[in-house]
Amino acid sequence: MIGRLNHVAIAVKDLEKSASLYRDTLGAKVSAPQPEPNHGVTVVFIELPNTKIELLQPLGADSPIAKFLEKNPDGGMHHVCYEVDDILVARDHLKAKGARVLGDGNPKIGAHGKPVLFLHPKDFNGTLVEIEQV
């Protein structure tokens, strides 16, 4: 059912410092910071030949990644995103298999302007999983 790895998201405290790490130390192609107020994060996109890395920095008072950074003060891998052809078919399949879909179960528009859903990390080896319809 799942397709390509769309991105790996890493939560960071200092977006400029982390962007510089990827740009200057690792030599990757790094975008300008993009505020996503609807998601409570500012994002930097890093283009790799086979996938993307997204650096997420909290934006606003109740950012969904604030607690994660409290537990992981050096930053850390926040979620992985897999592509699916049809997000509603994928959701219904996952629910039928016992996976918990976060939120109200309806897809939201993600950072790439495409519908996304998140799956409970306790059902996926401690890893928050995002699925995105491409």
Please list, in sequence order, all residues whose beta carbon lies within 8 angstroms of the beta carbon of residue 59, skipping any fewer than 6 positions away. Answer: 35, 36, 37, 40, 41, 42
Using the contact rule CB under 5 A, the part of the chain among 26-34, 36-44, 76-84, 118-126 near Co ion is 76-84
| Minimum gap (Å) between residue 108 Cβ and Co ion | 11
Using the contact rule CB under 5 A, the part of the chain among 23-31, 82-90, 98-106, 122-130 near Co ion is 122-130
Using CB under 5 A as the binding rule, whether residue 87 contacts Co ion is answered as no
* From 69, 94, 117, 130, residue interacting with Co ion (rule: CB under 5 A): 130
Using CB under 5 A as the binding rule, whether residue 83 contacts Co ion is answered as no
Q: Binders of Co ion: how many residues, by CB under 5 A?
A: 3
Q: Give yes or no: 130 in active site.
A: yes
Of 50, 41, 35, give the one whose Cα is nearest residue 5.
50
Using CB under 5 A as the binding rule, whether residue 9 contacts Co ion is answered as yes
- The three-class DSSP label of residue 70 is helix
Distance, C-alpha 13 to centroid of its chain: 15
Using the contact rule CB under 5 A, the part of the chain among 15-23, 29-37, 97-105, 126-134 near Co ion is 126-134
Please list, in sequence order, all residues whose beta carbon lies within 8 angstroms of the beta carbon of residue 19, skipping any fewer than 6 positions away. Answer: 30, 33, 44, 55
Residues 39-54: b if buried by 16+ CB within 10 A, e if exposed: bbbbbbbbeeeeebbb
Active-site residues, by number, are: 130
Interface positions with Co ion (CB under 5 A): 9, 81, 130
